[in-house]
Amino acid sequence: MRETACLAAATALLLAAAMTLLPAAGGCDRPQPAGPPGAKRDASSQLYIEVSALGSLDYFYDHKLGMELAGKALGVRTEYTGPSDYDMAAMITVFEQAIARKPDGIVVVGFEPSLGAIIDKAAEAGIPVVTVDADLPGSRRIAFVGTGNHRAGLEGGRKLAELLGGKGKVALMTKPGQSNLEERIRGYQDALRQHPGIEVVQVADTQSDPTVAAQAAAALLQKYPDLAGIACVEAAGGNGAAMAVREAGKAGKVRIVAMDRGNDVLESIREGVISATVVQQTALMPFYAVQILYNLNNADIPITTNNAAAGITGAPAAIDTGVVIVDRSNYGHFVRSR
């Protein structure tokens, strides 16, 4: 219990410091935590819920892990819930159910703008919301915790350019319309633009489905026989690209930079089919999101003489959880034993 109390106090100080370094969230009113400033509550009675989709993907193992670890560290109850596939209607229904349970905070992956209204509904009910992984800055969310997606694309683009020696035709693979993925694509384009010898010939749609991604990659290889590289900005793309390259007999000839750290991607790196992958520190997203929500409910950080009247929530606007480039030099450290 003493360790939990120390961690909570340290986290409060960390987040207070972050407020002085990060820009203020703009544009919309933010819900204030319930109860008087500085009110202390029994941690074990507090509930924090993450609502997401695509829970069947290996990628979201780390979201579940982050929620679990946050609960253990802070002594609160945490849950992860949502549909196993990309179904926004089902996700909104699950979000409605979460609101009805009146949790102390909700963590949500901001897949697309259709989720904005339900986030606002939670705010109106006095439930603070933090977006993770993909942001919805136009909503009444308190803060965003996730990868700096443009920088993730830049890092991936630089690695691909290095692998290609600065020349060749490349294709990018994504699920169009998702804000975090669009930022990664922009990062790739900005990085590759620095190399006049590299031409981005097409941006293909994976629909976040490995089978669709494999079909898209196969079509790219057929359309561009001299394709030198494929870059993927979401988890399904790397597996699909690897499958297509294997079947085309071009393993090692077409360089692939994947996204994320599924064991199948890591195995393809070991085999030399995928050259590298851009790995997010995904578990940190819900872990820090819950800590932000916990501090809103349990800590009084006097940024001003009256935070509520001054329009201050006492939370950072954004936390960038960063990325790591994984290749044959370090992939073994990322393999999961489960």
Mean pLDDT of 52-76: 95
Position 322 pLDDT exceeds 60: yes
Name which residue leads in pLDDT, 93 or 308: 93
pLDDT in tens, 14-39: 444 443 333 334 334 444 444 444 45
Q: Regarding the domain delimited by 149-279, which CATH topology (the fold level of the hierarchy) does it fall under?
A: Rossmann fold (3.40.50)
- Entry pTM: 0.78
Mean pLDDT of 152-159: 98
* Average per-residue pLDDT for the chain: 89
Q: How far is residue 81 from each of residues 23, 116, 136, measured CA to CA in Å?
A: 31, 18, 19
Q: Name, in order, each residue with C-beta under 8 angstroms of 324's C-beta and a sequence gap of 6 or more.
A: 278, 279, 281
Q: Residue 26's Cα: distance from chain center in Å?
A: 21
pLDDT at site 22? 37
The token duo for 74 is 């802070």
Mean pLDDT of 150-158: 97
pLDDT at site 312? 86
DSSP structure string for 249-304: T-BTTBEEEEES--HHHHHHHHHTSS-EEEEE-TTHHHHHHHHHHHHHHH----SS
The token duo for 54 is 């695509």
pLDDT in tens, 226-241: 999 999 999 899 999 9
Range 2-147+282-322 classified under CATH 3.30.300.130: no
pLDDT in tens, 265-280: 999 999 999 999 999 9
Name which residue leads in pLDDT, 178 or 161: 161
Residue 334 DSSP one-character state:
G
Strands of the sheet containing 105-109, edge to edge, are 77-81, 47-51, 105-109, 129-132, 143-146, 318-320
Position 205 pLDDT exceeds 70: yes
**Cα–Cα dist 258/332, whole Å:** 16
Q: Choose among 159, 273, 158, 171: nearest CA to 220.
A: 171
Q: Choose among 254, 255, 204: nearest CA to 234.
A: 204
On the question of a common fold for 2-147+282-322 and 149-279, the answer reads yes
**Cα–Cα dist 109/87, whole Å:** 13
**Helices then strands, each counted (H, E), the chain:** 11, 12
Q: What is the SS3 assignment for 230?
A: strand
Residue for token digits 């204030």?
32
pLDDT band at 40 (very low <50, low <70, confident <90, very high): low
pLDDT at site 59? 86
**Cα–Cα dist 128/103, whole Å:** 9
pLDDT at site 6? 46
pLDDT at site 338? 62
For the chain, the domains span: 2-147+282-322, 149-279
Name which residue leads in pLDDT, 264 or 23: 264
Share of the chain above pLDDT 70, in %: 88
Position 181 pLDDT exceeds 90: yes
Mean pLDDT of 291-298: 95
Position 130 pLDDT exceeds 70: yes
**Cα–Cα dist 322/149, whole Å:** 9
